[in-house]
Amino acid sequence: MAFIQYLENDAIPADHQVNDQDNILRIHGIHSSLLKYHLDLFRELMYSAGPLSRIQREMIAVVVSGINGCHY
C-alpha cells in the first residue's frame, strides 16, 4: 500500500478547508483546491438515490479498503 503524506488542517488555506476531518479528505490537502470537490463527490456517491442502499455502498467500500490493505 502506498503512503501519502497529508497536511494538518492549519497548513491548508482557510478557503480550501472543509468541515470534515476524514484522513482520506486530508490527503487532498496536498492539492487543497480539490478538497471541496472530493467531499462533494463522496456525498453524491454515498448519499444520493440509486440502486444500492447506503449500507451496501459502505460494505463495498470496506471490502475494497480491505483488499487494498488500507488502515483507515
Give 5-48 pLDDT, tens digit per residue: 777 778 888 888 888 777 676 777 777 888 888 888 988 999 99
pLDDT at 54: 93
In a domain, 9, yes or no: no
Residue 72 has pLDDT above 70, yes or no: no
The whole domain housing 39 covers: 20-67
Three-class secondary structure of residue 16 per DSSP? helix
pLDDT, position 7: 75
The number of CA neighbours under 13 Å toward the Cβ of 7 is 14
CB 18 within 8 A of CB 35: yes
Domains identified in the chain, total number: 1
Question: 56 lies in a domain?
Answer: yes
More confident residue, 59 or 24: 59
Q: In the predicted model, is pLDDT for residue 59 greater than 90?
A: yes
23 burial level (CB within 10 Å; 0-12, 13-18, 19+): exposed
Is 39 in a helix, a strand, or coil? helix
Domain-located, residue 72: no
CA–CA gap between residue 40 and residue 20 (Å, rounded): 12
